Structure 1
Amino acid sequence: MFSFIFQRLFQAGLVVIAMSVLVFCGVFAVGNPIDVLISPDATQEIRAQVIARYGLDLPLWQQYLQFASRLLHGDFGTSFIYGMPVGSLILSRLPATLELTIFAVLLASCIGIPLGVYAGYKPQSPAARIIMGASILGFSVPTFWFGLMLIMVFAVQCGCMPAGGRGDTVSLFGVEWSFLTANGMKHLLLPAINLALFKLSMMIRLARAGTREIMLSDTVKFARAAGLSERTILTRHVMKLISIPLVTVFGLEFGSTLAFAVVTETIFSWPGLGKLIIDSITSLDRPVMVAYLMLVALLFIIINLSVDLVYALLDPRLRKGRA
């Protein structure tokens, strides 16, 4: 088991190093931030001073080594635009994105899994056909279009929901949260629904496929032969057997939702990491761009590493290297 954990940690470390190089070089190729930071009317002397201050006059490999050295000490640099440490800037925006992401994934799971189980349990019923048709629609509709329709219907036409912003917040353990206030929940609901649409459809189809497979298995046949009720079969057997793949997908989808909430946060003016990275790309704020992409990469690496370790605990073959 120790060798398996060491191997996965070593692989994760190599991936982190490779991702840091790719991210740094990719952001470097996007454009020159000096064109945004300095006025075109500035003299060459002022331009040279600003370039030297940010270390942009150094070769790319030296800039990367400086970045990697700061990264090892937990320093992501200073934002060109905001003039504050990037770590503090990201931490100030992270709670808003976490709140939106958690709410959206929980919403998709709490609605999608029961609907998928029902569609798999009674696949020929009219309700099951409607559920599966709606899931196809959820895969097909673009996120930005669905978000704009939500704003037009509920904010513009009905006027019952806010069109954007985060609303009122309450401090809990030093962090501002909007779900603890009624006004904040109203602001949270539409962007969470928009972000949960694709995940909801995925949960429905995964739960439906897993339920159909298990309902046709010998386990269910023996349970019925033993006289167990259908409710007991669903709760004790079906839900238990489909929980492992669903939990895995839940973790991976949480990471992807957190990473790709950019569109939703931009449409609804949600003050999270997604809106921050869009503003940083527009202004070529390299430190913020690099820190955000590294955060996303680390998130996926940690999630995949955690899944590997959980699977190793569940399956001894993985620990012995036979699977």
Structure 2
Amino acid sequence: MLGFIIQRLLQAIVVMLVISVLVFCGVYAVGNPIDVLISPDATQQIREEAIRTYGLDQPIWRQYVDFLGRLIQGDFGRSFVFGSPVLPLILSRLPATLELTLVAVVGATLAGVPLGMYAGYRPDSLAARAIMGVSILGFSVPTFWIGLVLIFIFAVQLGILPAGSRGETREMFGVSWSFLTANGWQHLFLPALNLALFKFAMMVRLARAGTREIMLTDTVKFARAAGESEATILRRHVLRLIAIPIVTVFGLEFGSTLAFAVVTETIFSWPGVGKLIIDSINTLDRPVMVAYLMLVAFFFILINLTIDILYVALDPRLRLKAAS
């Protein structure tokens, strides 16, 4: 197992290095931040001084080498717009996005997997058809439209839930969290529901397909012949066999939601990383953009590493292969 983890870590380092080259060159090849940061009426001397200050007078390969040297030390540079270190700036917004993502993806999984298993176990029942109908809705309707409808119904018409902001927070481990207060949950519910609908639909369909396939296998037939109850069969055999694809989708959806919750955060004025990135793109704040994309890549690699380890834990065949 240790050798397996070390091998994956070495692969992760190589992938991060390649991504750093692609991200840096891609971001620094787009636009000229001086045109945004400096007034068009500024003199040529002021423009040249600003270019030297931000290191933009150096060739791109030299800028990348300097960036990589700072990155190894944990320094992502300073924001052109805010004038502060980039990493603390992003990390100050990250808990809000992380909280929203966790509630949405975990909630969608906890609701979607049991309902999907039921829909696969009783595919012709009225409840199963209703579950699949809701999943079709989750796949078909755009996220931004669902968000606007939720605001119109629950905030405007009924007036029972707030339409935006994060609400009251409480600190835990030095970080402010909304889920620790009742008012915070009121503000968290609508954006989390908006994010969760697509994930819920995906989990329902994945669990339903896996359950229908496994219920026809010899494993279930032997379990029934041994006198096991249907609930035990679903819990011990079916859920265990569909766990690997569910873990895969959970990890990928968690990473993608964490990285791209921009639309939901914008609609509900959620003060997460998404709003910061939109502002950085508009102002060509390159250090913030590069740091964000690097952190997204790091999270995806970390999630994939975790999934690989869970694979080994869930599948005995992989454990034997990793031990050999």
- Fold shared, TM-score > 0.5 on shorter chain: yes
Structure 1 residues 224-246: Cα deviation after superposition (integer angstroms, max 9, x where no partner): 22222222222222222222321
Within a 5 Å distance, the mapping from 1:86-105 to structure 2 comes to 86-105=86-105
| 1:12 corresponds to | 12
Of 41-50 and 3-12, more deviation after overlay is shown by 3-12
| 1:70 corresponds to | 70
CA distance in 2: counterparts of 1:309 and 1:153, whole angstroms: 43
Maintained 8 Å contact 2:211/2:238: yes
Structure 1 residues 272-305: Cα deviation after superposition (integer angstroms, max 9, x where no partner): 1111111111111111100000011111112222
CA distance in 1: counterparts of 2:172 and 2:304, whole angstroms: 30
Q: 2:208 aligned with 1:208, yes or no?
A: yes
The two structures have a TM-score, normalised by structure 2, of 0.95
Q: 2:322 aligned with 1:319, yes or no?
A: yes
Maintained 8 Å contact 1:311/1:318: no
CA distance in 1: counterparts of 2:68 and 2:37, whole angstroms: 24
Maintained 8 Å contact 2:247/2:307: no
CA distance in 2: counterparts of 1:179 and 1:96, whole angstroms: 10
Structure 1 residues 72-113: Cα deviation after superposition (integer angstroms, max 9, x where no partner): 000001111111111110110011011000000111011111
Within a 5 Å distance, the mapping from 1:199-278 to structure 2 comes to 199-278=199-278
Maintained 8 Å contact 1:94/1:273: yes
| Counterpart residue identity of residue 104, structure 2 | A
Q: Secondary structure of 2:242's partner?
A: helix
CA distance change for structure 1 residues 98 and 136 in 2, over 3 Å: closer, same or farther? Answer: same
The two structures have a TM-score, normalised by structure 1, of 0.95
CA distance in 1: counterparts of 2:235 and 2:192, whole angstroms: 28
| 1:279 corresponds to | 279
Q: 2:155 aligned with 1:117, yes or no?
A: no
Give 5+ residue unaligned stretches, structure 2.
none
CA distance in 2: counterparts of 1:235 and 1:4, whole angstroms: 30
Within a 5 Å distance, the mapping from 1:131-142 to structure 2 comes to 131-142=131-142
CA distance in 1: counterparts of 2:106 and 2:181, whole angstroms: 19
| 1:30 corresponds to | 30
Q: 2:36 aligned with 1:43, yes or no?
A: no
How far apart are 1:320 and its partner, in Å? 7.2
Maintained 8 Å contact 2:244/2:311: no
Q: 2:171 aligned with 1:168, yes or no?
A: no
| Counterpart residue identity of residue 107, structure 1 | G
CA distance in 1: counterparts of 2:290 and 2:197, whole angstroms: 29
| Counterpart residue identity of residue 276, structure 2 | L
| Counterpart residue identity of residue 13, structure 2 | G
CA distance in 2: counterparts of 1:193 and 1:226, whole angstroms: 42
Of 298-307 and 78-87, more deviation after overlay is shown by 298-307
Identity percentage of aligned residues: 71
CA distance in 2: counterparts of 1:209 and 1:249, whole angstroms: 14
